[in-house]
A and B are shown apart, each in its own frame.
Chain A
């Protein structure tokens, strides 16, 4: 626990009537501070440190049986065995390719889309700001699972009115086909999160000093130029933070591919994303060691990704 550097109390150079009170206050302050901080550390230890430690411990063991397997199982120490098993599994490696492709499509759509909406809302063009703010944020208030179910309903042939309309117009579209399933998934996630990110950008835009914008206008900058040259650089911190959260969220994608898999999208298999692989290892294959090792590898990717985004973001912030 970090404490403020305690000033030396050996000597009291300027004795006043206060000193004893001050030191008593300090003491009780420290106690109070400790009291306030304890719940955080209790929770942090209980829900972060302990599970991670347990995961590391589990990842070092494998369960073994012999013969037909009805004589019970044995837990054996396997060192990095589970890590090499995960990394040598083609399905696990492919899952990272899948989410890389997904991120390549999702992150530009998400960040670009929410930034555009926020800038539009912030500009004089938007008349009904409050309405759009609420309307765009509303999808985020719907739980992810429910949102997925709604979209899957709209995607499924035989149920979807959208597909009926496309059919009535003479067209055809298969939301689940290998070519379209990624865009279907991006659409589903973007719908849920675009309003949320937009609100963050919009709030950041409100903090941009109005006189800077007025100065730009006086200098003859148009709305587009003001947006790109003045507003966007000034909300760089919010942008970097949002990219970071979006990346970390995207690599953990679970609900959407899980439901698309259940509805029979052929290219979304049961280990399409790393989290699905982990779920399957733990709950279908009952291989808790492999699941723990794969989870830690995914967490490692998250750490590396966070570092990279922050690093690149800071460089960009410094440059602009």
Chain B
């Protein structure tokens, strides 16, 4: 055998060995079990984007000896969920993560979540209202533990409403009239902005109107993204935008905030959690904002705009410890208080556990909203959330389809495209589609 081939062999062996090393470096982790019998605390990883997370984790670690939580901030929405899904795929997912209700069916059916029935099923059944339980329970199993409910609320500028002589609209018809009055008074100012880039808001508005983007029939999914109430909502907003009665800024963009802060947008559609960030986004407007129930279609009704729960991701070796941490986060007085202790950006989310609502309300600084009791108002709205709404197994994809089509041809086109995507996505994955 010649020298060349021997050195080639050496090189080849080196390559293979190095690759093997890389592979083990990627996949390796020191296997440890849940029990803390060796006296060392169990360390669990926690990824979230919610406000007040840092102070919450610090409080937990201060008071718990056997479990240590490591917190990492991740982006919200699509970017955050793809990060989580990829981490599960790569085998380095965190133990605990924030999963919004809208993503629970998708994450559960993709196999990204550990079934929590045995760990937190009882807690979920005993502490949370049935309307919230149905958002985290599928196929008879409990997948995540709820934290907050997010009935829609209407935030408005008290000083500018007075200036333009506008009453707080109670119905969508009044909202249209008010929008026209504002435009007439000042051509540079509008009552509100309806983003085309926030399909979750469109979903919540459809929910309020009685739409049901998804339902299940037996073991089959039945999408209704373009059902009659959703179409009505889409047409309503398309009309307002066409008539130039509302603005349409990109959701959560600097231009949207600038328009609000400079008084060019007088109100916005939000939820309880919206209040938390206002203090930092618009510090000069303290005391000038107030909150009211969302305008409705004739009878008091509300959709859930957002709302978060906590799940344990597949691959976690510490399900028990993770479930304990989640229970503390969602149903323990100290956990709820810690979330509001963050001075810069306290969470103003409304706890889903009714016993925790007074705890949060007592901690929340109402000065920004001129002393108004945000939690009382939001709690009252929980009862108006229309029952029967289910999120879909391919929610992100449906959202993207709605958003793409809305940008091109308005909300009407958005819901049609969303329905098509819901149907095709369900069949492509081999799931059953109800006819």
Contact = CB atoms under 8 A, between A and B. Distances in A.
Nearest to B113: A70
A69 B393 contact: yes
Contact of A263 (B8, B253, B258, B431): B253
Given A67-B432, A69-B393, A71-B139, A263 B111 contact: no
B407 interface: yes
A70 B109 contact: yes
Contacts of B259: 158
In this complex, the interface size class of chain A, counting residues with CB under 8 Å from chain B, is: 35 or more
Interface string B418-435: 000000010001111000
Contacts of B250: 262-264
Interface stretch (B172-180, B214-222, B363-371): B214-222
B7 A30 contact: yes
B255 A6 contact: no
Contact of B14 (A33, A38, A267): A38
Interface in B97-150: 105, 108-111, 138-139, 141
Contact of B425 (A50, A73, A158, A285): A285
Contacts of B8: 1, 3, 34
B249 interface: yes
A143 B18 CA distance: 32
Interface in A239-291: 262-267, 269-271, 280, 282-286, 288
A156 interface: yes
B11 A70 contact: no
Contact of A68 (B15, B138, B394): B138
Contacts of A41: 11, 15
Contact of A285 (B11, B221, B397, B403): B397
Contact of B85 (A33, A156, A283): A283
Nearest to B406: A266
A288 B429 CA distance: 12
Given A42-B19, A63-B429, A158-B259, A34 B7 contact: yes
A269 B397 contact: no
Interface string A157-200: 11100000000000000000000000000000000000000000
B404 A269 contact: yes
A46 interface: yes
B89 interface: yes
Contact of A283 (B4, B7, B78, B109): B78
Given A42-B15, A42-B18, A280-B400, A67 B431 contact: yes
Interface residues of B, number: 52
A89 to B, nearest CB: 10
Interface string A53-71: 0000000000111111111
Nearest to B4: A3
Interface string B213-251: 000100111000000000000000000000000000110
Contacts of A158: 249, 255, 258-259
A38 B400 CA distance: 46
A123 B111 CA distance: 64
B139 A284 contact: no
A45 B15 contact: yes
A68 B221 contact: yes
A30 B4 contact: yes
What is the interface of chain A mostly: helix, strand, loop, or mixed?
loop
A70 B7 contact: no
A31 interface: yes
Contacts of B19: 42, 45-46, 50
B22 A159 contact: no
Contacts of A70: 108-109, 138-139, 141
Contacts of A271: 404
Interface string A133-159: 000000000000000000001001111
A72 interface: yes
B210 to A, nearest CB: 23
A150 to B, nearest CB: 13
Nearest to B88: A286
Interface in B347-404: 393-394, 396-397, 400, 403-404
B283 interface: no
A97 interface: no
Given A284-B396, A284-B400, A285-B397, A38 B11 contact: yes
B202 to A, nearest CB: 14
A27 interface: yes
Residue of B4, B221, B396, B432 contacting most chain A CB atoms (<10 Å): B4
A37 interface: yes
Contact of B254 (A42, A71, A159, A262): A159
Nearest to B7: A34
Contacts of B2: 6
Contacts of A264: 196-197, 250, 407
B86 interface: yes
B431 A262 contact: no
Contacts of A37: 11
A65 B106 CA distance: 12
A248 B193 CA distance: 41
Ranked nearest first, the 4 interchain pairs of A and B with the lowest CB-CB distance are A69-B109, A283-B82, A70-B139, A64-B430
30 contacts: A1-B8, A6-B4, A31-B7, A37-B11, A38-B11, A38-B15, A42-B18, A45-B15, A45-B19, A46-B18, A50-B19, A63-B429, A65-B429, A65-B430, A67-B219, A67-B432, A68-B139, A68-B216, A68-B393, A70-B108, A153-B254, A263-B250, A264-B196, A269-B407, A269-B408, A270-B400, A270-B404, A282-B82, A283-B85, A286-B85
Interface of A: 1, 3, 6, 27, 30-31, 33-34, 37-38, 41-42, 45-46, 50, 63-73, 153, 156-159, 262-267, 269-271, 280, 282-286, 288
Given A46-B22, A68-B432, A264-B250, 11 more contacts: A6-B4, A27-B3, A69-B429, A69-B431, A73-B111, A266-B407, A266-B408, A267-B408, A269-B408, A284-B397, A286-B85
